[in-house]
Amino acid sequence: MKQSTTLVTGGAGFLGSHLCDRLIDRGDEVICLDNFFTGQKDNIIHLMNNPKFELIRHDVTFPLYLEIDRIYNLACPASPVHYQHDPVQTTKTSVHGAINMLGLAKRTGARIFQASTSEVYGDPEQHPQSEEYWGHVNPIGIRSCYDEGKRCAETLFFDYHRQHQVEIKVARIFNTYGPRMHPSDGRVVSNFICQALRGEDITIFGDGLQTRSFCYVDDLVSAFVLLMDSNSEITGPINLGNPNEFTMLELAEKVLSIVGGSSKLIFKELPQDDPRQRQPDITKAKSMLNWEPSVQLDDGLSETVKYFRHLLG
């Protein structure tokens, strides 16, 4: 395969920085685009002197003119704490960002990957969630800026594909964790680990019986690359995540067993529209990409705890 010039929007973020590493390792020229709202320079500092890596500070809600072969559109705050901070900008990032990146793909003939989300399923009435499920989403709630923004972005991707023959790849990403998560992103894995490392009580929302499925970042990035490299007829959307389901109480117990200490569990009210269940049906990923996650939660949590232990000193 010829060397590609690949644009990664949100490339200094948690997922984006790991993707930049993977693409550089395989020989791609990588242009990392980030406005540093949630991305961090520490995530990519090790790449700054690499001749195959270039960093551009830019917001995807404004047009961009580059010559590239491939685009991974990852730009958008993805945790409730961050996307609810400026909900109007969150929607703009998903919708205007998609329009601008699709326009760039159309002009250059680039293949474009959209980092969509399991949040398009909302608080699901189908379990586990398959790609054929249309979702159960509140269009006017506090999570809507993200949920509906990502749903609209998927619409734009498929309309550009049908109307302008743009080559698209749409991935619906389920809960992912690993090194380089933002310590204050409000996500459950980083919350539990940071609270345990600081010796604080661990906050459980609701009764702790709601479930999530956690995919380690290395597994997810492998799926990104496989999907991008797949036959052009495979457009997605394709669920990417780990189908092993855990309650919040089980996750808290695993974190405490790794970190140690004397943290207690405290319970608070469940936030509005917080899904009770989240589990991907990855049948399509298995059959179309020959992919399924291999890192077990205990192993991935150990690596993530090491990262946060070093980060928090």
Handedness of CA 213, 70, 98, 155 (dihedral sign): negative
Residue 266 bridge partners (DSSP):
203
The one-letter amino acid code at 269 reads E
Strands 211-213 and 245-247: antiparallel
CA distance 14 to 17: 6
DSSP codes of every residue in 136-148:
B--TTSTTHHHHH
E strand intervals along the chain: 5-9, 29-34, 53-57, 70-73, 111-117, 168-173, 176-177, 202-205, 211-213, 215-216, 238-240, 245-247, 265-268
CA distance 125 to 203: 26
Angle CA 15–245–257, to nearest 5: 80
Residues in CB range of 134: below 8 A, 6 or more apart: none
The one-letter amino acid code at 50 reads N
**Please, are residues 120 and 172 in contact by the beta-carbon 8 Å criterion?**
yes
User: What residues act catalytically?
Assistant: 146
CA distance 218 to 14: 11
Question: Residue 237: is the preceding peptide bond cis (ω within 30°)?
Answer: yes
DSSP codes of every residue in 19-66:
HHHHHHHTT-EEEEEE--SS--GGGTGGGTT-TTEEEEE--TTS----
